[in-house]
Structure 1
Amino acid sequence: MSERPLDLVSGGRFVVPSADLAARIARGRVPRMTIELYRFAYSCYARKVQAALELARVPFTIVDVPYLDRDVMTKVAPGYPMVPVLRHGSDVITGSREILEALVQREPAIAALVPEGREAVVWAYHDFADSTLETPMFQAATPGIRARFATHNERLFFTFIKERRWGAGCVERWARERDELLESARTMLAPTRASLRRHAFVAGDAPTLADASLYGHVAMLAYADRALVAALGEEIVAFTARMQALGVAPPA
């Protein structure tokens, strides 16, 4: 088969299968490889990948990584301590967009979440969610996420990581500014809410990777505090329920 290197992890190579192999997988003539998703339960990026797998009904196993003990990550992806990481058979893929791109190539049911002729719309929305929308969403969620850690050391390290980038006292500041942050996110989601008033999902009447991306951020916010989701608008609340009705897991 033809091969194209996509991602390097400690000398390993992720290989995208040819169209012929993808077709054979779809027909069940090639055994399905084990898929493991390494995540933090609150990570919007991990929840996005998880939602895509669940929408496509692709079997996989979740591995929750302890926040202060990432030894499991050194065994799977040496030198890469972040999540999500996906192990697909003997291959390891890092980075949430790279994971989805790889799954689109490998798994026909995931490829169906990027309908032919709609690639630009789906990926553009995905990238909007993971950049512009992500900032107010994660800032609004951060105080609640910190509060859910079981130990002082976890909360301390989580705060330290955030303050390294956003400055001392950022978590407390975001707690004070929560309503303004949620209103910012709601404003950014105005076109999305308009679409959801006409269609069941972001890009039409069937779910795509755009929906998985939006759901990842909503799940992160709900992990912090389920009541916060209502501030985004009734359309987002209804969208979340539709996704869960399709088998996408609610926040932990």
Structure 2
Amino acid sequence: MTILLYDLVGSDPSRPFSPHCWKARMALAHKGLGFETVPVRFTEVADVEGGGGRTVPVIRDGAHVVQDSFAIAEYLDDAYPERPSLFEGQSGRALARFVESWSQRTLHPAIVKATILEIHDLQDKENRAFFRASRERTFGKPIEAVQDGRTEEKRQAVSKALEPLRATLRRQPFLAGEGPMFADYIVFGGFQWLRCVSTFAFFEADDPIRDWFERCLDLHGGIGRSLPAAA
């Protein structure tokens, strides 16, 4: 039975943009597992697979329903141990947790502050209203005031915060070493999110992060590159 991946989209169902859903996509491709995507908009997320206040990504693999990108990667490694590993054991899972914490506290807030209006504009009318209301509750101010991360000063600050990532990728092709694992897909998800919603970038053409990202786009038959970048 083909695995189903519930994937966040905007008004165009062919343009999935969630960083967390991209982690799950890359994890499934890494394991060599066939899957079908089920496009889901913001207002539909809570009703996925019976509801209960779900978030995406969610996968259904036969009788198994798994929510959250990290939990999905763990499930895939446990359920399909004969296929390429996403973690290489418990120590790899622990290190990937650190990468996830760093990414969600450093990279993701910077992307939101640089692109939240573009994310809003990708939605249809109903989901624009939902997105605006939910994000303005979170931030306590209009989303127009949230998008303050596109000045050169802010871009340089983010670039400086990415220096540990940059230093690592000067020494090796992937965060996991010679080949990618889930730690790479965690960070890739953030940059793919940025690529999908905006032409804004935090790195220069000669940045080793950019070189790594290009390698990631080409992985698994170019699944990342198959979605055109925002124009």
Q: Report if TM-score (shorter chain) is over 0.5.
A: yes
Q: Which of 82, 87, 96 is the equivalent residue of 1:122? A: 96
User: Deviation at 1:184?
Assistant: 3.8
User: Deviation at 1:193?
Assistant: 0.8
**Matching residue of 2:52:** 79
TM-score (norm 2): 0.81
Q: Which of 43, 47, 64 is the equivalent residue of 2:39? A: 64
**Matching residue of 2:120:** 146
User: Deviation at 1:241?
Assistant: 1.3
Q: Which runs of 5+ in 2 are unaligned?
A: 9-15
Label 1:182 to 1:153 Cα distance change in 2 as closer, same or farther (>3 A).
farther
**Matching residue of 1:39:** 7
- Once residues 157 and 6 of structure 2 are traced to their aligned partners in structure 1, the CA distance between those partners, rounded to angstroms, is 31
Letter in 2 for 1:160: A
Q: Contact 1:122 / 1:203 at 8 angstroms: preserved in 2?
A: no
Q: Contact 2:139 / 2:146 at 8 angstroms: preserved in 1?
A: no
SS at match of 2:129: helix
- Once residues 60 and 88 of structure 2 are traced to their aligned partners in structure 1, the CA distance between those partners, rounded to angstroms, is 25
**Matching residue of 2:188:** 215
- Once residues 233 and 82 of structure 1 are traced to their aligned partners in structure 2, the CA distance between those partners, rounded to angstroms, is 36
Q: Contact 1:218 / 1:229 at 8 angstroms: preserved in 2?
A: no
Q: Contact 1:114 / 1:122 at 8 angstroms: preserved in 2?
A: yes
Label 1:191 to 1:128 Cα distance change in 2 as closer, same or farther (>3 A).
same
Q: Contact 1:183 / 1:231 at 8 angstroms: preserved in 2?
A: no
Q: How many residues align?
A: 216
**Matching residue of 1:26:** none
**Matching residue of 1:48:** 23
Q: Deviations over 1:175-220 (max 9, x none)?
A: 3332355434322221111111111111311101110000110111
- Once residues 139 and 93 of structure 2 are traced to their aligned partners in structure 1, the CA distance between those partners, rounded to angstroms, is 34
2:176 counterpart of 1:176: no
TM-score (norm 1): 0.75
- Once residues 42 and 109 of structure 1 are traced to their aligned partners in structure 2, the CA distance between those partners, rounded to angstroms, is 30
Q: Contact 2:217 / 2:224 at 8 angstroms: preserved in 1?
A: yes
Q: Deviations over 1:71-120 (max 9, x none)?
A: 8x636132234211111111111122222222221122666121245443
Letter in 2 for 1:79: G
Q: Deviations over 1:40-94 (max 9, x none)?
A: 12211111111111233221111111334x28x6361322342111111111111
Label 1:174 to 1:168 Cα distance change in 2 as closer, same or farther (>3 A).
closer
Letter in 2 for 1:53: L
Letter in 1 for 2:33: V
User: Deviation at 1:139?
Assistant: 2.7
- Once residues 107 and 130 of structure 1 are traced to their aligned partners in structure 2, the CA distance between those partners, rounded to angstroms, is 27
Q: Which has the larger radius of gyration?
A: 1
Letter in 2 for 1:191: P
- Once residues 173 and 46 of structure 1 are traced to their aligned partners in structure 2, the CA distance between those partners, rounded to angstroms, is 27
- Once residues 205 and 50 of structure 2 are traced to their aligned partners in structure 1, the CA distance between those partners, rounded to angstroms, is 36
SS at match of 1:187: helix
Q: Which of 176, 193, 201 is the equivalent residue of 1:203? A: 176
Q: Please, which moves more after superposition, 176-185 or 151-160?
A: 176-185
Label 1:227 to 1:176 Cα distance change in 2 as closer, same or farther (>3 A).
closer
Q: Which of 199, 207, 211 is the equivalent residue of 1:226? A: 199
